[in-house]
């Protein structure tokens, strides 16, 4: 029996693009995304989280406890640099701002958004911008929660 094929890996460096589009824009439209605000290199961290509740599925006298998958919950936390006149994230993600962040993985950041690419879409409302403590030999950063306000569209296809 032959061994299974080993898939090639994709380096994460320079292979992520995060773009903010306004609420009125289509977060899957290549045209709207190319006109949107690119956040990738303003960010220090991009931390989407997903948890899923467990539903107990007990049965009379059964000695094993059965379980089912329950509701999913999404969180989105970012940390970004600030203090320079060219800051993107600090102004685009002002507290109370609503819109979409579209995340494209495994395609070079320098590649423009185009039809048929695959991405995840988070519809968000920006929470409070919390300036982080200054550190020796470091940069000024802000940490912020982005509240997910609609169903996350994972592995969605970009349109024209």
> Is 89 strand, coil or helix?
helix
The pLDDT value given to residue 85:
87
Query: 16-157: what CATH class?
Result: few secondary structures
Angstrom distance (rounded) from CA 70 to CA 73: 10
The pLDDT value given to residue 86:
86
One pLDDT digit (tens) per residue for the chain, 160 residues: 899 999 999 999 999 999 999 999 999 999 999 999 999 999 999 999 999 999 999 999 999 999 999 999 999 999 999 999 888 999 999 999 999 999 999 999 999 999 999 999 999 999 999 999 999 999 999 999 999 999 999 999 999 9
Angstrom distance (rounded) from CA 80 to CA 26: 25
Q: Where are the domains positioned within the chain?
A: 16-157
CB 119 within 8 A of CB 104: yes
């Amino acid at each position: 029996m032959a061994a299974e094929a080993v898939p090639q890996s994709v380096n994460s460096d320079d292979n992520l693009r995060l773009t903010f589009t306004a609420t009125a824009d289509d977060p899957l439209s290549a045209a709207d995304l190319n006109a949107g605000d690119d956040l990738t290199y303003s960010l220090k961290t991009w931390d989407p989280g997903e948890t899923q509740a467990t539903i107990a599925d007990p049965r009379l006298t059964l000695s094993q406890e059965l379980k089912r998958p329950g509701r999913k919950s999404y969180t989105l936390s970012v940390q970004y640099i600030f203090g320079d006149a060219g800051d993107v994230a600090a102004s685009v993600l002002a507290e109370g701002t609503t819109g979409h962040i579209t995340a494209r993985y495994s395609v070079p950041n320098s590649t423009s958004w185009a039809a048929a690419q695959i991405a995840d879409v988070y519809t968000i409302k920006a929470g409070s911008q919390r300036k982080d403590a200054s550190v020796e030999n470091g940069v000024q950063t802000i940490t912020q929660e982005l509240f997910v306000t609609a169903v996350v569209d994972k592995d969605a296809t970009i349109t024209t």
